[in-house]
Chains A and B, each alone.
Chain A
Amino acid sequence: MERIGLIDYGAGNTTSVLNALEHLRLDVTLARTPEDLENADRLILPGVGAFASAMRKLERLALVDALGDHVVERKKPFLGICVGMQLLADLGHEFETYPGLGYVAGEVKRLRAEEVGLRVPHIGWNEVDYDPSCPLFEGMSAPAFYFVHSYVIEPSDPTSTVATCLHGGPFAAAVRRGNIFGVQFHPEKSQRDGLKLLENFASFEVTRGDEPTRQGRPSVADGSLVIRSR
């Protein structure tokens, strides 16, 4: 059985995800260092809180470059959950503009739901429209997932979006670039459908054609990042 490395970087709801994976009797190890990533065949990056704060925690643990090596170069299957999904983007704009991992071209912006009288954060269960060919959703019918978030990833390439949800307008509920997946909802809190999704991720096999295109992280130095004041 392949081992899942659950990245424990102090910004994730690690325990809930760990419980869900253990419930599925999957082989899981917590990964806190670049060395820990070596022991995992596939990786899950959970996340709660703000984008910049989560990125800084990854940076402090020297996990950004290590993840690039394992996920982009070595193509280990990767799943980002909630903020863990948002970190896949080039930039986040929560409280401040900050560069993300840059695996999925796009930016993370606040939900535009308040203008239609809906509350932000978006909290609750929603059905999603999904690409049935995406392996995460294999074997599902009208799946519903639990969301808690105020920000969403807006991929610049629409083909990255493999599931959408509606809250004041459509937003990306799941993205994929080859072996890299991200889900805005919390599969670990989404009961049957969430467990099925985690199970699907655990059994997904990378095949030819799944390779993502690596994207460089934007930076102030090359002019691709402008830091806004709060």
Chain B
Amino acid sequence: MIKNAFDPEPHLSESSLEKGLADRTDQLPDALHRGIVERVARMYQHAKEGQRHASGPYRIGGEWASFYEERERLYEPLRQGDIDASLALLRGFWRNELGPLVKEYARFEQLVAREEPATSRFQAGVVRNYLIWNDLVDASPESLRIPDVGNPWGYVIDGVMVAPKATRFHALSTQAQRLVSDAERPWVLEIGAGYGGMAYYLLRDRADVTYVDFDLPETLVLAAYYLLCCLPDRRHFLYGEGEIPWGERSGLASLLLPNFALASVPERSAALVVNSFSLSEMPRGTLAEYCDRIGHITDVYFWHNNVDRWGVVNRGHERIPASAYPLDESLLSLVSKHFDQFHGHGGDYREYLYRRVEAHAQMEA
């Protein structure tokens, strides 16, 4: 009988789950921690203020509108500047009410209660993704390790706690590093980074990259908190801390910006622009604006992974298939299209890689 290299069964155990869910409260010094939370709270306040004045395409819409409407109240301590309450909230974001933004296959409380089928789905999914990651990326399991920030959880495989989506984030970070390997002090722009999982690996493994995240304020809070806590010795710019330093090409690890700041990104400033999953979830007008901006700010590559099927409806929004995006083909040329490597050929998601037309012509020459 042929052995299936991606069969999760041999790796499944209760103890791996038990260890994966063990407490991982951070050990950050209190003063440092409070300082970070104060900056994040100020960023949130500025971003919410800016959001009120954002132009049409940058207003919250699509399937995210109702999601954030329900969740905005959770961020009240940040809006109020209540640092103690904000710190308590962010310190446990993997496990508390902010957790839905980081989960994969199951929520933390479902796993603690060993709810089925969520628990089995989680274990099989995380292990299967790990086996696919192992096939895709030439790296040791240690490379998946993440700092104890936000009290993370996951599943222990080969001695490492593998957090939800960690394998996907690490694989994407690896590809991003390949794509910018020839660029000097490259800027990598991500539209919708979630809690910053890919960004952490990228900044950890490639010191000269400047990473820029654009997201809705509520999610941006998590990415800012996470990256500042994970990489406290690096320099980060948070929205509202003065003029956005677009011209700075050295020493800056990250810029954490609300989505509407995308409108002010200079032409061809990013060696790589990345998006996972969210472009299709936007309203049509927003998508058109983002595609236009992507065409202008991409200097070499635009990579994205999105749904490519008509008729997928979530929260009243019909997702726009990736093959129907209004990208300007005179600026960006499609060079690769694949099934999502973790979903396989049965899934609805596709990875697309575009190259700037001038860059393409130069490389061909």
Q: Which residues of A contact B (CB under 8 A)?
A: 113, 115-119, 124-127, 144, 146, 166-169
- Interface size bucket, B side? 10 to 19
A167 to B179, CA, bound (A): 14
10 closest cross-chain pairs (CB), A and B:
A117-B178, A125-B345, A117-B179, A166-B337, A144-B345, A166-B336, A169-B335, A125-B339, A117-B175, A167-B336
Q: Beyond A117-B175, A166-B337, list 20 extra A-B contacts (CB 8 Å).
A: A116-B179, A116-B355, A117-B179, A117-B181, A118-B336, A119-B136, A124-B338, A124-B339, A124-B345, A125-B345, A126-B339, A127-B337, A127-B350, A144-B339, A166-B334, A166-B335, A166-B336, A167-B338, A168-B335, A168-B336
CA distance A146 to B338 in the complex (A): 11
Residues of A within 8 A of B355 (CB): 116
Interchain Cβ contacts within 8 Å, total number:
42
**Which residues B308-365 have CB closer than 8 A to chain A?**
334-339, 341, 344-345, 350, 353, 355, 363
**8 Å CB contacts to A: which residues of B116-153?**
136
A127 cross-chain contacts in B, Cβ below 8 A = 337, 339, 350
Q: How far is the CA of A146 from the CA of B345 in the complex (A)?
A: 9
Partner of B341 from A113, A115, A124 at Cβ < 8 Å: A124
Q: A125-B344, A125-B345, A144-B345 are in contact. Are A116 and B339 (CB under 8 A)?
A: no
A146 to B: closest C-beta gap in Å: 8
Partner of B337, one of A115, A116, A126: A126
CB distance from A27 to the nearest CB of B (A): 27
B200: Cβ under 8 A from any A Cβ: no
State A117–B188 Cα separation when bound (angstroms): 15
Which chain B residue shows the least CB distance to A169? Answer: B335
Please measure, in the bound complex, the distance between the C-alpha atom of A146 and the C-alpha atom of B339, giving whole angstroms.
Answer: 11
Is B301 positioned at the interface, with any CB of A under 8 Å from its CB?
Answer: yes
Q: Is the CB of A116 within 8 A of B341?
A: no
Residues of A within 8 A of B301 (CB): 116
Chain B residues contacting A144 (CB-CB under 8 Å) are 339, 345
B336 CB contact (under 8 Å) in A113, A125, A146: A113
A and B contact pairs by CB, cutoff 8 A, 29 listed: A113-B336, A116-B179, A116-B301, A116-B336, A116-B353, A117-B175, A117-B179, A118-B353, A119-B136, A124-B338, A124-B341, A124-B345, A125-B339, A125-B344, A125-B345, A126-B337, A126-B338, A127-B337, A127-B339, A144-B339, A146-B345, A166-B334, A166-B335, A166-B336, A166-B337, A166-B338, A167-B338, A168-B335, A169-B336
A116 and B354 alpha carbons, distance in the complex (Å): 10
Rounded to whole angstroms, the CA-CA distance of A113 and B175 in the bound complex is: 12
Among B136, B175, B334, B338, the one with the most A-chain Cβ atoms within 10 Å of its Cβ is: B338
Which residues from A are CB-within-8-Å of B345?
Answer: 124-125, 144, 146
**Contact mask B179-190 → A, CB, 8 Å, 1/0?**
101000000000
Q: Give chain B nearest CB distance to A160 CB in angstroms.
A: 21
Q: How far is the CA of A146 from the CA of B350 in the complex (A)?
A: 15
**What are the residues of chain A within 8 A of B338 when measuring CB–CB?**
124, 126, 166-167
Q: Tell me which residues across on chain A come within 8 A of B344, comparing CB atoms.
A: 125
Give Cα distance in the complex from A115 to B334, angstroms: 14
**Chain A nearest CB, measured from B342 CB (Å):** 11
Chain B residues within an 8 Å CB radius of A167 = 336, 338
Q: How far is the CB of B316 from chain A (nearest CB, A)?
A: 27
- With A and B bound together, what is the CA distance between A145 and B341 in angstroms? 14
CA distance A117 to B337 in the complex (A): 13
Cβ of B350: which chain A residues have Cβ within 8 Å of it? 127
- Among A113, A115, A144, max chain B CB count under 10 A is at A115
Q: How far is the CB of B186 from chain A (nearest CB, A)?
A: 13
